[in-house]
Structure 1
Amino acid sequence: MIPLALAAALLVAGCGSDAAGLDNVSVKGDKSPTVKVDKGFKATKTTTKVVKEGSGDKITEGDAVTVDYVAVNGRTGKTFDSSFKSGTPLTTTLKSGSVLPGFVKGLKGQKVGSRVLIAIPPKDGFGQANKQLGLKATDTMVFLMDIVKTGTVPEAAEGKANKLPDTLPKLTLDDKKHPAKFVKTDKTEPKADKMSTHVAIQGDGPSIKAGQSLTIQYVGQTYPAGEVFDESWSREPATFQIGAGQLIKCWDKSLVGQKVGSRVVLVCPADVAYGKEGSGDKIKPGDTLIFAVDLLAAF
């Protein structure tokens, strides 16, 4: 469900201010900036340099943060990713264990509207090679970040609870009252050939729009009460762009228009999920899937 590229690589793998190592890094351009880093650049700790200070709210740990960025490999001096070129900003929850430590250290305390340079050494980065991004285990990363938005993220859906149809498997909760798994009952329909969306908790936030970055908690299993193949509650909230073709069709079609703060149950037949190919070892070809999704924030 979660998209690839840098945003996915950064997820799950504290504020440095000594900017001396970044003095020789130059930035040119505003709407489509370029970052020049000399080959062989290294940092021993996460350091930040404010290129332009914004006037917005200060970022605190645990906030959802949206940034535009340019990412440069210090060893080669070459850019390996840029949201300015892809047109897809990164939104993530700024919390240890959720993103790279260097992101937390570099962004915490900065203001919305700021442009900052952040040098992240291996110990605060991936700590190992990342072939997808062309990084060696010893590479320092340099990021230019424009801080676009920030906001708080609730722990779970909040609002009026609705009774779900008896024909659905029953959604059970864990001891923290978080969705755990679906359980089949005598009234559960054995098959579900059509996509359907059911609001278990009605939130009172704004309606979600295509193209927004959506922060969620979720659990997914094979219908009607098969194996749980993925969940986020044991980790941190997941963030992705909705309605951009990065997710299965069922999610893009069902979540756009829902209200932030809601918990929705999605029934996703194979034609709007993983089709005749399946996915990995747990989702077989032709499987119908069922999800409980808490819609925590949209930016």
Structure 2
Amino acid sequence: MRSSVRLRPLAALSAVALSAILLAGCSGGGGGDASPSASASAAADLCSSAAPSGAVSDGITVTGDFGTVPTVDFTKPIDTTDLTLQRTVQTKGTGAAIAAGDFVNYAATILDGATGSVLSQAGYTPGEILPAQISADNGGQIFGCATVGSRLTLATATGNETTPSVVYVIDVLGITPTAAWGEEQAPVAGMPTVSLGDGGAPAITIPEGQTPPTETQVATLKKGDGPVVQAGNQVLLQYTGVRWSNGETFDSTWDKGGVPTSFATNKVVAGFQKALEGQTVGSQVLVTMTPADGYGEGDINTTDLKGETLVFVIDILGTAPAATQ
């Protein structure tokens, strides 16, 4: 369907840029490869990659309720001499431990370690940051061994002359399921039927003997309780697509390890975009799209989607504004 960046100080980071910088800027130094599915061993692997605590991270004072914008205080400027990434668990949550492969919801405040000024804040309102998939070398130093409900403080030197050190306050809000969790809705007569296998993978059955619709049709199979997908948003989702002509699957995240993918709603074909925008996170959507809203008209063959009416089942797992930087 159609990161690694070094930590850089920007006073007006978008939420998406904050997410990328947070994970990439504090990554590295962990051990072991991540598995795309969570397990006890995956959680143990992340424990081994977690950054150690230190005097600087221990000395950060945070006030304010969990999940809300915090007030942060620390001795300024931070001495960057021999400073490597430090992490302190200020409050240990009672929820599940984060495992390699989990998609984590979090809120983050990033501050200048010299002045205490806020460089960026996001995640305190749903729909500001996409859930981040965590592995030993992507966020493991931050989230390793953390539990849902935890508040973490971190400090590190950046190697940047303008902002030589930064402080993070991270609230671990939850772990996003890899399948839609919304309330089941009544099926729409005449549309393909959907059954779900173990883990939520859909099987799509085309109505026998029925001609494809002349207009794109969208139905909500499960209604989620999350934020609304806005035009041009980034989305995290699972999907399966089949041809109306023969019912064969031509693309599916479920067939690629069941790992969700993400992209902007305006970077896909029109029918897929129509199926996403205006829906809520947690929803499962069924769309039957005409060739005009898919890959155009043309001769049907075994490799080309031109001329095909396409059917998708889409699980919407997260949304956030598209990156602006």
The TM-score with structure 2 as length reference comes to: 0.51
Structure showing greater Rg? 2
Match of 2:81 in 1: none
Q: Contact (CA 8 Å) 1:91, 1:239: kept in 2 or not? A: no
Q: Give the drift of 1:262.
A: 1.2
Match of 1:156 in 2: 179
Give 1:30's aligned residue: 10
Deviation string, structure 1 residues 227-260 (Cα, Å, up to 9, x no partner): 10111224244232433x2222222222111111
Corresponding residue for residue 63 of structure 1: 103
Could you say if the C-alpha distance between residues 289 and 67 of structure 1 is closer, same or farther in structure 2, counting changes exceeding 3 Å?
farther
Q: Give yes or no for the alignment of 1:184 onto 2:206.
A: yes
Structure 2 residue 276 is matched with structure 1 residue 255? yes
Letter in 1 for 2:222: I
| 8 Å Cα contact 1:195-1:250 kept in structure 2 | yes
Shift of 1:177: 6.2
Contact 2:30 2:141 in 1 (8 A): no
What amino acid is the match of 1:162? Q
Task: Tell me, yes or no, if structure 1 residue 102 matches structure 2 residue 141.
Answer: no
Match of 1:265 among 286, 289, 292: 286
Aligned to 1:121: none
Q: What is the Cα deviation at residue 277 of structure 1?
A: 7.3
TM-align CA RMSD = 4.5
Matches within 5 A, 1:209-228: 209-223=230-244, 225-228=246-249
The reply to whether residue 204 of structure 1 matches residue 225 of structure 2 is: yes
Conserved 8 A contact 1:242-1:256: no
Contact 2:300–2:307 (8 Å) recurs in 1: no
**TM, length-normalised to structure 1:** 0.55
Structure 2 unmatched runs, 5+:
14-27, 32-48, 52-83, 109-127, 159-165, 321-325
Secondary structure (helix, strand or coil) at the match of 2:137 reads helix
- Report the secondary structure of 2:176's partner residue: coil
Identical positions, percent: 19
Q: Conserved in 2, the CA contact under 8 Å of 1:197 and 1:267?
A: yes
Q: Distance in 2 between matches of 1:56 and 1:193?
A: 56
Partner SS for 2:271: helix
Match of 2:228, SS state, is coil
CA distance in 2, matches of 1:209, 1:223: 28
Which of 271, 278, 296 is matched with 1:275 structurally? 296
CA spacing shift, 1:55–1:252, aligned 2, 3 Å: farther
1:213/1:239 contact within 8 Å kept = no
Residues 181 and 63 of structure 1: is their aligned pair in 2 closer, same or farther, counting only changes over 3 Å? closer
Q: Deviations over 1:37-77 (max 9, x none)?
A: xxxxxx88668754999999999341336899xxxxxxxxx
Q: Once the 2 structures are TM-superposed, how far is the Cα of residue 221 of structure 1 from its aligned partner? A: 0.8
- Report if the CA contact (8 A) 2:131-2:318 is conserved: no
